[in-house]
Amino acid sequence: MRGTFADLKNDFVFRKVFGQHPDALIGLLNDLLDLRGEARVTDLEYLPSEQAPAIPGFKLSILDVKCRDALGRVFVVEMQVVHVKSFLNREMYNAAKAFIAPLKPGGRYTDLVPVVGVSVCDFSLWPDAERDAAGLARIPMF
């Protein structure tokens, strides 16, 4: 009898696995980002996945997983199955919101911490053939 496994490309399953099992998320981040030595993620603190806008009326962001490691870096981890036109803009927006979140009125820019956006995609984000045909540089990806 074959086993049935949950599909990690499903948002609910992705959030359940990586949002509640820090060892699995630590392994994913270290492997995907090739983090070694002192740069390795060793411990995580889960942060609220809802990023409320600082200005009323601005867009609310709900992330798959948001966490902070022992070095203070923030990771915004998303699963994306369908390639939508605004995908990159949305990812940049979510990372930017995570970046400025610690900065309070009167705060110092030194309070800002590195933010790493990790998007696990089930599609080719920048197909090399299209970039080659347009004479554009290839974009390095993990």
pLDDT at 4: 59
Give the per-residue pLDDT at 45: 85
More confident residue, 36 or 140: 36
Specify the pTM: 0.75
Query: What 3-state class would DSSP assign to 113?
Result: coil
Both tokens of 46, joined, read: 């889960």
Phi and psi angles of residue 116, each rounded to the nearest 5 degrees, phi first: -115, 120
Residue 60's pLDDT is: 56
pLDDT band at 116 (very low <50, low <70, confident <90, very high): very high
> What does pLDDT average to over the chain?
81
Q: pLDDT band at 30, cuts 50/70/90?
A: very high
Least confidently predicted of 59-68, 82-91, 94-103: 59-68
Quote the pLDDT of residue 24: 92
Tell whether the model's pLDDT for residue 114 goes beyond 90.
yes
